[in-house]
Amino acid sequence: MPNSLTIADTSFGSRLLIGSSGYPNQQIMMDAIDASGAEIVTVAMRRINVAGGGESVIDLLSERYHVLPNTAGCYTARDAVLTAKLAREAIETDWIKLEVIGDEETLFPDVEHLLTAADALVKDGFIVLPYCNDDPITCRKLADIGCAAVMPLGAPIGSGMGLRNPYNIEIIRDRISIPVIVDAGIGTASDAAVALELGCDGILLNTAIAKARDPVKMAAAMRAGVQAGRLAFEAGRIPRKLHAEASSPQAGVIGA
């Protein structure tokens, strides 16, 4: 598959991963996911009633998308590992987006608990995609543990602030070989393009689409932003220069 995103030997045609929470209703959610072109959709396990009556989010998504359960809302390694195991039992998948939050106000990851949980889950056969700080050292440790990708934040979850420290993201991309997927902080299509221009392998977002005035249009915009950013990265931007450089040839100029 050309120009695909490959995670743990599985290839996807889209580099955009999308969340499933916070939409005005389920129809808008499904329309937005379709417009985004995403193939991987994350679902918070605490929101799922697998055994209950009626159609669940899993029922809506599982036939068309690769459902990626996450451990949103966990504050300890123990709770995150337990949630991952419950997800594997309920959804029959070894894939898990690992979140271990350290602070209710910032929703930053707790690195100590994150590393502990990641190590336990990798040893238990999970394909682990951890949400982490934009810290090259933490990302390297997660890669060394055996995570299938790292997902450094661009800015606090739901803030829409874009990439606040692109230099760290570049360092992370340069130092590890597994996919780097920016998770959290993306606010609009230009933020998505910047992340891909830096060489990131993909982005995961939710709030920027779900809370937009028109989620379906924003989903389409994010799709285009990701595609444009990746093409720009592959094309290679021109060097930045202090002074102007004429683009037209000087030879043959009238009066020269």
Q: One digit per residue, pLDDT tens: the chain, 256 residues? A: 347 899 999 999 999 999 999 999 999 999 999 999 999 999 998 644 555 544 578 878 988 999 999 999 999 999 999 999 999 998 999 999 999 999 888 899 999 999 999 999 999 999 999 999 999 999 999 999 999 999 999 988 888 888 999 999 999 999 999 999 999 989 999 999 999 999 999 999 999 999 999 999 999 999 999 999 999 999 998 888 888 887 776 666 676 5
CATH of 5-235, one of 3.40.50.1980, 3.20.20.70, 3.30.420.40, 1.10.357.10: 3.20.20.70
Supply the Cα-derived Rg of the chain in whole angstroms: 20
Rounded CA-CA distance 165/198 in Å is 11
Catalytic (active site) residue 97: yes
Catalytic residue among 97, 123, 141, 241: 97
Q: Is 232 exposed, middle or buried (CB count within 10 Å of its CB: 0-12, 13-18, 19+)?
A: middle
Rounded CA-CA distance 21/242 in Å is 45
pLDDT at 62: 86
pLDDT at 255: 65
Rounded CA-CA distance 225/195 in Å is 10
